[in-house]
Structure formats: structure tokens, C-alpha cells
Amino acid sequence: MVRIATAAVAVSIAVVVITLSVILGFKEQISALVSGTMSDITISNPYGERQPELHPISDGEELRMVLVATKNVAHIERYALRSCVVRGEEGAVGIALKGIGNEADMALFSERLEEGITPRMEESRRKELLLSKSVAEKIGAECGARVELLLLEGEAPRREVFKVCGIYRSALGETGAELALTDIRNVQKLNGWEPSQISGYSVRLYDSDFAEESADIINLRLMREYEGEENLFAVSSRERHADIFGWLETHDVNAAVVLTIMLVVAIFNMVTALLILVLERTRMIGTLKAMGMQNGVLRRIFTHRAMRIVALGTIIGNIVALGLLLLQKYLHLVKLDESGYFLGEVPVALSAGWIVAVNILFIAIIFVVTHLATSIVGRIKVADAIKYN
């Protein structure tokens, strides 16, 4: 029974650590994908959500200083948007053409490149286009091919020819797959804007967990300190993509359910093991009581024995869990369907802080329940115990 109880504790703590690690890994990596694709916060004219080409803002030093001086802001990037249709040999698809400057962080898109290169920001403007794999397949465009952009203006669409410089895998499946990147000067020219006119700023934060709070602070500072004529508003990625973050929040419920079930299993096995230990030592308990030992001392003896079992099971469970998690982290053994989960493999998040906290919580709850269970020692009568066989 002792071995069964030890194994139950080991399995329980291992399942809890692995479950929380995977759930936290999902939240961290998908949040990073959203941040890398869409940024943590966007600042723009709210009237430009549907027709961005009609509502530019002015890129000025005063506005930049307000943003950069805000706590938690790590980096800002200009961007310009244009809604249009891209047409290739096999079809046409609506896209959101996003122009980026040379200060843009292209790390995520570079990592997810299937073919070609990211748009080059050189002195001479290049009409290069980075398309998602999904859009490229729909229109039958390959890397290096020329495609038409159809701009809906007046009665007849205006046509512009661009070269596909690269194809990337969308970080969020079909969500965001319509995003196509190019030099910001191309979009400014298509929109008929001045070089100082942009759609807004992408803001990246040091800690994206505080995106909503940082957006509120930026909005407050814009209202108090910025004297420009534009109607500017900061929106966090969590608000803009509430569906994705809402899906992530449902994993917290799953984690709570798993934690509760594993804790109940461990407690049930520990209490059962403790009762068996007490019954096996009934005569010994009676003898010790007859010699004057108090119930409190006897309870501490059995509690100590039970916690030795818990400690051994916890050590084994952590070794097994961390071993499996490290194998997954470095060898990527378990794969996922990227179209359904946004990730190609099971993510792993390891941090000493939450692992230690979970272990302490687990041990503390089992200790309390086990100590309460030792109250059965006080119900054993000396006369009956000595006669017990």
C-alpha cells in the first residue's frame, strides 16, 4: 500500500506539472505569435479600421516621444495599410496590404519563411510583396512571380504590378493569413499620401501580459499631452483579438480540473495508506498509550511517516515530469496539427517559480488532510488495542 501511495503521488504531481507546463507554453507562444504578427498595441485613427487609406495620421516627433516615454513600451514601428485584391494566374483574394519601415522587427516572419526573402527596405523603393502561403496557393503565385494588386477606386479598379519576394507560413492559421507585407513607401504611394503620413504605430512591450493596462496609459497620455489634430486611440492585441485570447483562457479551466482530479486521487490514496498503517500498528499504538504516550505524539509519528511517502512520491514525480518536458523542449517529439493549434509541436514552459509553488501547494494540502486523518489514532482504546490480533 505504501508503494501504491507513493506511485499515486508521483503520478499526480507529474501530471499536474506536465499539464501546467503545456498550458502555460500554449499561452506564452501564441501570445508571442500574436505580438510578432499584429504587435502588442496599435495606435491609429479609429475611423480608419474599415477604410485605412482615407484616415492617415501624421508621423511626428511629438507623438513618438509620448509613446516612447510610456512605461513598458520597448519599441514602436510605423505602418501603413491598404485594402486591396491580389490577383495571380489562378484566382484573386482580398488582402490587407501592410507597409512597414526599416525599423520593423521581421524576426517572426523570417523564422516562418517558406521561400524567398522578406521585403527589402533600401534607398530605392522596391515593389516587393511578402504573401502568406495560404494566399499564394489560392492565387497560384510562386516566389518570384509577378502579381496584380487591384485597388478599388471609382468605377474601375486601378492596377499595380508587384513581385512576390517571399512566402511565409501564417502564424495564426487562417486568422491573419490575408496579411501581406511591403515597403511602407509603396502603400503611401498607393494611398496618395505624403511621406509623413502613416496609418499608425505598432507598439511592442517589454511585458505583453500588461498590454491592456499599457494601452489605457497610452490613451490617457495622448489625451493629456498630445496636441495633434488626429483622433488617436490605442488598442491592445488582447482586445483586438479577443477570440484567440478567450480560447486561451478556457485552458485555465482545464488546468483547474486536472489539478483537482490529481489532488483528489493523491489524497484518497494517502488517506487509505495511512489508515492501513494505523490498523497494522494497532497493538503498538495500544501499548504506547498504556505506557503514557499522548495522542498528539502518536499522530505526529504517523503524519511524519505519511509525509515521507509524499516527499518520495513528489521527488519521483518531478523527475519524471521534468525529464519528459525537457525531452519535448529539445527533441520536439510530440507534434501538432498547425492548422488547428497554431503550433507545430506541443509547447513547453518551464519556470522554477511556478513549479516550486505547485509542489508546495500540493504538499501542503496533502499534509493538512493527512494530519486530520490521523485523528483515528485518538479513537483507539488501550484495552481493545492490546487484545487486537
For residues 261 and 294, state if they share a domain: yes
- The pLDDT confidence band at residue 384, using thresholds 50, 70 and 90, is low
The percentage of residues in the chain with a pLDDT greater than 70, rounded to a whole number, is 92
The dihedral over CA atoms of 138, 148, 342, 234, expressed in degrees to the nearest 10, equals: -150
Q: Find the domain containing 101 and state its range.
A: 46-231
Please tell me whether residue 132 adopts helix, strand or coil conformation: strand
Do 192 and 322 lie in one domain? The reply is no
Report if residue 238 sits inside a domain. Answer: no
Out of 37-41, 154-158, 332-336, 381-385, the most confident range is: 332-336
- Domain assignment present for 318: yes
Same domain, 8 and 57: no
Tell which of 175, 210, 231 closes a domain.
Answer: 231
Output the pLDDT for position 163: 95
Pair 103, 219 in one domain: yes
Look at residue 172 and tell me whether its pLDDT is greater than 90: no
The whole-model pTM stands at: 0.75
Residues 6+ apart with CB under 8 A from 70: 214, 217, 218, 221
Mean pLDDT rounded to a whole number for the chain: 85
Confidence grade of residue 2 (pLDDT, cut at 50, 70, 90): confident
More confident residue, 170 or 202: 202
- Pair (373, 225) in one structural domain: no
On whether both 220 and 98 belong to a single domain, the answer is: yes
pLDDT band at 270 (very low <50, low <70, confident <90, very high): confident
Residues 16 and 65 in one domain: no
- Residue 324 confidence (pLDDT) above 80: yes
Residues 199 and 55: their CA atoms lie apart, in Å, by 7
212 and 155 in a single domain? The answer is yes
Quick check: is 237 in a domain?
no
Q: pLDDT value at position 229?
A: 65
Q: How many CB atoms lie within 10 A of CB 107?
A: 10
Residue 236 belongs to a domain: no
Q: Does 275 lie in the same domain as 227?
A: no
The domain boundary residue, chosen from 166, 201, 231: 231
Looking at the fold, whether 61 and 136 belong to one and the same domain comes out as: yes
Residue 98 included in any domain: yes
Q: Express each pLDDT in 106-163 by its tens digit.
A: 888 888 899 999 999 888 889 999 999 999 999 999 999 999 999 887 667 889 999 9
Do residue 25 and residue 54 come from a single domain?
Answer: no
The model's confidence at residue 365, banded by pLDDT at 50, 70 and 90, is: confident
- Following DSSP, what letter does each residue of 6-26 receive, concatenated? HHHHHHHHHHHHHHHHHHHHH
Average pLDDT over residues 324-342: 86
Tell how far CA 156 is from the center of its chain: 44
Query: Residue 262: inside a domain, yes or no?
Result: yes
Domain count of the chain?
2
> What local confidence, expressed as pLDDT, does residue 72 receive?
92
All three cell numbers of 63, joined, read: 507623438
Give me the pLDDT at residue 122, please: 83
- Is the domain of 51 the same as that of 187? yes
Axis-axis angle for helices 2-38, 295-331 (nearest 10): 40
Quick one: pLDDT at residue 367? 85
Q: Of the candidates 210, 231, 252, which is a domain's last residue?
A: 231
